[in-house]
Chain A
Amino acid sequence: MRVGIVGVGVVPFRPATPEYSWKEIMYEAASRAYADADINPREEVDSFITCAEDYWEGFGIFDEFTPDQLGAVLRPACTVTGDGIQGLAQGVLQIRAGLADVVAVEAHSKISDLLTYEGVVRHAMDPIWNKPLGGSPYYLAGLEMDAYLRAAKLSERDCAAIVTKNRQNARTNERAAHGVKLDVEDVLASPPISTPLKELDVAPLADTAVVLVLAAEARAKKLASDPVWIRGVGWNSDSPWLETREWAEAKYLENAAKMAYSEAKVRSPTSEFQLAEVDDKFSYKEPQHLEALGLSKKGSTAKAIRAGTFELGGDLPVNASGGSLGCGNVIEASGLHRVAEVALQLRGHAGRNQIDGARTGLAASWRGLPTATGAVAVLGVGR
């Protein structure tokens, strides 16, 4: 039984949203999504899923503070402490298990309320083996970038080109917060954070809220003239141990993709997608993830980048939305936002960055430092 996306609500990203409390920004996204789907959440949504972590929010049990603004009072609602695509996957499973016909999946970033972002990222590190080393957690990204660039034979310049691409794309995406025109030289000259990682290799933070409404096939067809089908979904975690982890490859995404492609019957990833929205919380993650997804051949990625393959007008536009680098890093909402962008593209509603003939797209997420967890969703319209 197919599951379709019938409602999309995205609050335009901004670096800070002082006029909204976290409840109000969630309400905003939910209102947009329910209006888009033309449903009354109080009667027509059977289950609500929030993707959140306590320490991003500053509460002991964030789940308490979610139902009212989603229309979930006295309804089945829960929190998945995971990325938005992991939450989306749970919604799909709930529908297929017959527990719900319509599910609302929400994720947000009110990261501007958090004064010590790096402190909280550090708090996720292993208490016995890693925390005592101290320092900014970005050294993990520096180490990984170094390992990946050497293994993949990519240069810092190639990564800088990705930054300029994504931030340029963001300039014409009304949902993005950090669109700006940059030269590769600007990126290369930006202050080092943990070599070879530089300041402009890091996606800046942003606030947003995203809600998607999912429906079982029969219901989806009634609610939308052309539902965006979730053809396949997968999620996977590699070892949390930094010490024994494979640094150069994103094994978690390779496994998640395998699962999603199997369900979606994708046999040749490079030729079956017209677009891909792929996590780029750090510049080097985009090519690393493309290789794990089978969208770029290992060893040839540098060539593909330099040939403009992944540009907006290229053979396979990657992060036409601007990605995290251009829109903003929105923490657990990142993956859900990417699904929303793909869905909008497939509907022909992506605005100025619309890709012609978009019928099948891919969204892929990563939970960020220090995790090796990611998820993949394959979306398509029509048969």
Chain B
Amino acid sequence: MSEKVKTWPGVELSAKEFYGKVTSVKFRPEAKFSWSAGEAMSRFLMELKEGRLIARTCRKCKRILFPPRMFCEECFRPTDAWTYVKDTGTIETYSISYIDLDAKRITDPVYVGVVSVDGASPKMGLMHFFGGVTPETIRIGMRVKAVWKPPAQREGSVLDIVHWRPLKEGEG
């Protein structure tokens, strides 16, 4: 690579040198936010508190949009109406995580993935946890149902659903 270049710039530091030897300046930014949820997400959260999933419809492309939004991104027009969707669905993809938010190892793995929700347009879904599954039983295409927190514990959050579990015989 360019026979002209003999040394490539950069001095590597080991972790020990980085933390112990070189001078550094520490700073923690003051950056706090409180985002207005807006019309669509506010209603979505309120309905979660009531144990329901809600979507929006677009008359033009005829899709049922979930998560709900006040404008259809395909047609670029305002969406038309609210409509409830079911709390059953299908696993589109999943992962079994052995690490947490900060990349630390956890002992009990977390089952997470995307659920496409019944009643919404195909493939419209939500990221959420799965429960009542093992690495051997979980699979793409599995039919699942939401497990809700008791009403008193719901706050208007996606965590009002504890996780999604496999559908039992005769359900959904």
Asked if B70 lies at the interface with its beta carbon under 8 angstroms from chain A, I say yes
B residues 68-109 in Cβ contact with A at 8 Å: 69-71, 73-76
Query: Which of these, A20, A68, A71, contacts B38 with CB under 8 Å?
Result: A20
**A20: chain B residues within 8 A (beta carbon):** 36, 38-39
Asked if B34 lies at the interface with its beta carbon under 8 angstroms from chain A, I say yes
C-beta contact mask, A43-82 vs B, less than 8 Å → 1, else 0? 0000000000001001000000001110101000000000
C-beta contact mask, A296-309 vs B, less than 8 Å → 1, else 0? 00000000000000
Asked if B40 lies at the interface with its beta carbon under 8 angstroms from chain A, I say yes
Beyond the given A20-B39, A21-B37, A71-B73, please list 9 additional residue pairs across the A-B interface where CB-CB is below 8 A: A20-B38, A24-B38, A27-B70, A41-B76, A58-B31, A114-B32, A116-B30, A120-B29, A123-B27
Query: Which of these, B30, B33, B40, contacts A113 with CB under 8 Å?
Result: B33
Given contacts A120-B30, A127-B25, A128-B25, whether A68 and B35 have CB atoms under 8 Å apart is no
Whether A113 contacts B25 by the Cβ 8 Å rule is no
The 3 A-B pairs at the shortest CB distance, nearest first, are namely A21-B38, A119-B30, A58-B33
C-beta contact mask, A4-35 vs B, less than 8 Å → 1, else 0? 00000000000001111111100100010010
Complex Cα spacing A317 to B118, Å: 60
Given contacts A21-B41, A27-B70, A127-B25, whether A115 and B75 have CB atoms under 8 Å apart is no
Complex Cα spacing A64 to B64, Å: 22
**B71: chain A residues within 8 A (beta carbon):** 24, 27, 31, 68-69
Complex Cα spacing A185 to B96, Å: 66
- In chain B, what residue has the closest Cβ to A112? B36
Asked if A219 lies at the interface with its beta carbon under 8 angstroms from chain B, I say no
**B76: chain A residues within 8 A (beta carbon):** 31, 34, 40-42, 71
Complex Cα spacing A58 to B29, Å: 12
Interface of B: prevailing SS: loop
Q: Count the B residues whose beta carbon is within 8 Å of the partner chain — how many?
A: 22
Asked if A108 lies at the interface with its beta carbon under 8 angstroms from chain B, I say no
Interface of A: prevailing SS: helix
B residues 4-35 in Cβ contact with A at 8 Å: 25, 27, 29-35
Whether A42 contacts B75 by the Cβ 8 Å rule is yes
Asked if A122 lies at the interface with its beta carbon under 8 angstroms from chain B, I say yes
Whether A68 contacts B69 by the Cβ 8 Å rule is yes
Least Cβ–Cβ distance between B65 and chain A, in angstroms: 11
Question: Which residues on A are within 8 Å of B, measured CB to CB?
Answer: 17-24, 27, 31, 34, 40-42, 55, 58, 67-69, 71, 73, 110, 112-116, 118-120, 122-123, 127-128, 131-132
**A22: chain B residues within 8 A (beta carbon):** 35-36, 38
Whether A21 contacts B29 by the Cβ 8 Å rule is no
Query: Which of these, A68, A110, A116, A131, contacts B31 with CB under 8 Å?
Result: A116
Whether B33 contacts A21 by the Cβ 8 Å rule is no
Whether A17 contacts B73 by the Cβ 8 Å rule is no
Query: Which of these, B31, B36, B40, B69, contacts A18 with CB under 8 Å?
Result: B36
Whether A58 contacts B30 by the Cβ 8 Å rule is no
Query: Which of these, A42, A113, A119, contacts B74 with CB under 8 Å?
Result: A42
Complex Cα spacing A187 to B73, Å: 46
Complex Cα spacing A127 to B25, Å: 7
Complex Cα spacing A25 to B74, Å: 18
**A34: chain B residues within 8 A (beta carbon):** 76
Complex Cα spacing A113 to B41, Å: 15
**B36: chain A residues within 8 A (beta carbon):** 17-22, 110, 112-113
**B69: chain A residues within 8 A (beta carbon):** 23, 68
Q: Which of B27, B33, B40, B74 has the most CB of A within 10 A?
A: B33
**B74: chain A residues within 8 A (beta carbon):** 42, 73
Least Cβ–Cβ distance between B158 and chain A, in angstroms: 16
- In chain A, what residue has the closest Cβ to B23? A128
10 A-B residue contacts at CB 8 Å? A21-B37, A21-B38, A24-B40, A27-B71, A55-B29, A113-B34, A116-B31, A118-B30, A120-B31, A132-B27
**A24: chain B residues within 8 A (beta carbon):** 38-40, 70-71
Query: Which of these, B25, B33, B39, B40, contacts A115 with CB under 8 Å?
Result: B33
Whether B27 contacts A116 by the Cβ 8 Å rule is no
Whether B31 contacts A123 by the Cβ 8 Å rule is yes
Least Cβ–Cβ distance between B57 and chain A, in angstroms: 16
Complex Cα spacing A143 to B69, Å: 47
**B41: chain A residues within 8 A (beta carbon):** 21
Least Cβ–Cβ distance between B80 and chain A, in angstroms: 15
**B70: chain A residues within 8 A (beta carbon):** 24, 27
**A122: chain B residues within 8 A (beta carbon):** 29-30
Whether B29 contacts A73 by the Cβ 8 Å rule is no
Least Cβ–Cβ distance between B85 and chain A, in angstroms: 19
Least Cβ–Cβ distance between B61 and chain A, in angstroms: 11
